[in-house]
Structure 1
Amino acid sequence: MAALLKWARNLTRPPLRPLRFPSAGFELVPTDHILEEEQFDEFKAGQYFPVRIGDVYDSKYQVLGKLGFGTTSTVWLARNLQDHGHVALKVYTRDAPHSREVETYRSVSRANPSHPGFRHVRKALGSFVLHYPRGDHTCLVLEPLWDSWKDLARRNPANRFTEPLLKAGLREVFLALDYLHTECRFCATDIKADNILQEIRDKGILHAFTQAELEQPSPRKFVDGRPIYLSRRFNLPKKFGEVVLSDFGAAVRGDQKRNHDAQPNVYHSPEVMLKVDWSYPVDIWNIGVMSANPRRPALHQIWDVFEGRHLFYGDDPNGKGYSTRAHLAEVIGMLGPPPIDLLQRGVRSKEFFTEDGQWTADIPIPENTSLEAAEAHLEGENKAAFLSFVRGMLQWRLEDRKTAKELLQDPWLNSK
């Protein structure tokens, strides 16, 4: 009914006129300063579409400003001139493997709207193609969202979440994950603070964003005539919305067993590291660990947003960065040795263990580490309850981990 009423209202409203954005008065970034997507090889290869603020795409979406960037896309706030609503445009690079994400969004957007987790996953509103002499670019139309958990933690002077904020957010994340697993049959495989965002309920921040771009145009530079803009942040809203799980570019079917590599390095679950057939429980491990980039101390994810540090890093003592052996050694130090039956299922187990489960990798197991020692902000029964909650996710055997639905009933998560 709400959608019908919105459609009816739009019949009586004339289309908006495109805004005229300043063509001068902006800061010109020095040519020797690498700006945002310019750092990637894909930019050097001419893979990015040259989006310009103020342009109108698909005959109705006027670009209002840049929200972010990545190796396969840039994201922009836009206004639908026909229905007056705001959207986010995800413009893929020319050769980005976007088809799976587009189809995943379509499936997620229609699987079961009556499920309580439906409202906690981001919806696709459509897609279209931008034509360019060097090749076509797919553009995904999404609902706009506010800051990610990563940004939210950084806005807090303490650089960490409070216990009530973490509990409230996790309840909504588990609702989203239960929807993905039980209704959509998808594994996200890439749950991180960057991909957990907040719904926009205070529409004033959308208008403030636009006004700021009109009055203080975003800094930019030009490379071979192509513009690169500095991303703009939304203001702090007067009212916060619900948590929304986003970015399904790495999502795969969960009802099909697989053992290929998945998840960013420091998110790797034991089954991914050992090449055991895996499915939905990889996402549960992912939430339990939720480590950030081990090269910088960004304070986010379930352990990081609450403890202010990472649980696992995987830094190899040979100085060459991340390695599976270093990561496994840290997990053993924290959780104890893996069960023999799990090792027997792993394609890579013989690289690190004997047949009876003895550690053979040429790297020491960290000593004096435990979840109890790692948790530094709770005490007594509350600390014990929190660690029990975390242990429900951080289990060697994937079948021993709790499901999202089971975690929603956890005593610590529901305590006051």
Structure 2
Amino acid sequence: MFGLILSCFRQLPWPPSSAEAPEIDDDELTQEENSRTPLSCYYPMRVGEVLDHRYQITAKLGCGSRSTVWLARDLHRWRWQSAEYVSIKVTITSGSEDSQIDLDELRLLDRITNANKAYWSYACVRSLLDHFYIHGPAGRHLCMVFTPLREPLGLAKYHWENEKISLALLKVIAQQLLGGLDYLHSQCQVIHCDISDNNVILSIAEEVRNKIPDDISKDEWMDPSPVKHLADRTLYSARHDFGPLYPNIGGIVITDFDQSVGGEVDWDRNHDCQPEGLTAPEVILRVGFSYSADIWNLGALLCGMVEGKPLFDDASRKEHGTEFSEALSFARMIAILGPPPQALLDRGERVADFYDEEKRFKFPELIPKDCSFETFFTRVEGEDKEKLIAFAKRMLKWLPEERETAKELLGDEWMQ
């Protein structure tokens, strides 16, 4: 009875919108249809739906190969209070393997959330607010609840001139990324394994923490995004309209731990992971990896962000529609870092994919001429360029054990 009385004072769900959403053309693929994951594995979410008797879905924020992400109002608020918003990651359902991935991610998120909330860089990684399960036509889906964020760095670049981040801001972001990795590695014993500009997301400044989600939600209710109606579900367009960056951004947050592993010996750490072009050599060669793989991943990402093009990949590949080549990526590593030490090659299970019996690289024609840190970095000059190259070299070393830790890198001169 008491609970029933309390519910009378809770915020009510919004009624269905009377506005008609424009239709997406049949020949235009939505994010879910463009994914390698079968459409049936995604939960058929509806805007306006209430999950777990608490969270009302107000807009779609994004979609990946293993989940969709939604903005939602928290209805466990008193009617006289302002609205509070969360983002909800809803995983796919497609069998026991993915269920284990969900369990591993949830276990690591619990560790990340509770390891040390007083640590100085705790806010640089995403922590879990709540989780629950929902059931759809294809089975059970894990739902993870987080504080809403802005757009990932991969989309934020469109706010910057020539789609290149200012070096002053990049230095701040580099410090926060290292702080986040320091927290993951030293406090949580977690290896991220998937650091990309899609998994590094801008946070919302505290003073507009609820205003931006509220604006998006109300705009979606009054002027819905385009949709595609199928027999068993409605597919929604994602909202990326977070408004101007300044003064509405806080810091950056490292997110998405579905590829992450623990640093303990009982976790498998000799498998394919990390984004294309940002993969550490020990991962490519199947040497086995540890925290230092994240350092390589971050180093390659930061170098690419400086110039707006990848360090260890063909910058024109996507324009020409060509596939990613591990051999080409490895060849660029050789051009920039010199040949890998035999001590690394001797430990790799996949060395024969790249080297012949005479220990010669199989693809010498792919090694670019005149490719070095000095020729790659064109936006910086003089002493700042020297400091940047020195910083990159501390992270991008062939031997994992020679790379410096996130904590050691935090004091680097280039970021001062």
TM-score by length of 1: 0.88
**Aligned pairs (5 A) from 1:7-406:** 14-44=9-39, 46-83=40-77, 84-95=83-94, 96=98, 97-200=101-204, 201=206, 202=208, 203-233=210-240, 234-236=242-244, 238-256=247-265, 258-290=269-301, 302-313=302-313, 321-353=323-355, 357-361=359-363, 363-406=365-408
The answer to whether the Cα contact below 8 Å between 1:109 and 1:124 also exists between their aligned partners in 2 is yes
Cα deviation per residue 1:3-24 (whole Å; 9 max; x = unaligned)? xxxxxxxx99931111123144
Distance 1:304 1:346 in 2: 27
Match of 1:295 in 2: none
Cα deviation per residue 1:332-375 (whole Å; 9 max; x = unaligned)? 01111111211122222244336775424464422111010000
Q: What one-letter code is carried by the residue in structure 2 that aligns with 1:381?
A: E
Match of 2:3 in 1: none
Shift of 1:40: 2.8
Identity of aligned residues (%): 34
Count residues in correspondence.
Answer: 389
The answer to whether the Cα contact below 8 Å between 1:89 and 1:140 also exists between their aligned partners in 2 is yes
Distance 1:355 1:41 in 2: 37
Distance 1:32 1:111 in 2: 47
Distance 1:363 1:307 in 2: 25
TM-score by length of 2: 0.88
Shift of 1:136: 1.6
Shift of 1:402: 1.1
Distance 2:363 2:347 in 1: 18
Shift of 1:380: 0.9
Distance 1:58 1:31, change over 3 A: same
Of 305-314 and 372-381, more deviation after overlay is shown by 305-314
Unaligned runs of 5+ in 1: 1-10, 291-301
Cα deviation per residue 1:217-248 (whole Å; 9 max; x = unaligned)? 12101111300000012223543212111000
The answer to whether the Cα contact below 8 Å between 1:312 and 1:330 also exists between their aligned partners in 2 is yes
Q: What one-letter code is carried by the residue in structure 2 that aligns with 1:278?
A: F
Report the secondary structure of 1:122's partner residue. Answer: coil
Distance 1:323 1:32 in 2: 30
Of 321-330 and 177-186, more deviation after overlay is shown by 321-330
| Counterpart selection for 1:412 from 402, 411, 414 | 414
Q: What one-letter code is carried by the residue in structure 2 that aligns with 1:245?
A: I
Distance 1:285 1:140, change over 3 A: same
Report the secondary structure of 1:26's partner residue. Answer: coil
Of 130-139 and 13-22, more deviation after overlay is shown by 13-22
Report the secondary structure of 2:225's partner residue. Answer: coil
Of 186-195 and 324-333, more deviation after overlay is shown by 324-333
The answer to whether the Cα contact below 8 Å between 1:326 and 1:363 also exists between their aligned partners in 2 is no
Of 350-359 and 83-92, more deviation after overlay is shown by 350-359
Distance 1:57 1:342, change over 3 A: same
The answer to whether the Cα contact below 8 Å between 2:261 and 2:269 also exists between their aligned partners in 1 is no
Q: CA RMSD in A?
A: 2.1
The answer to whether the Cα contact below 8 Å between 2:19 and 2:223 also exists between their aligned partners in 1 is no
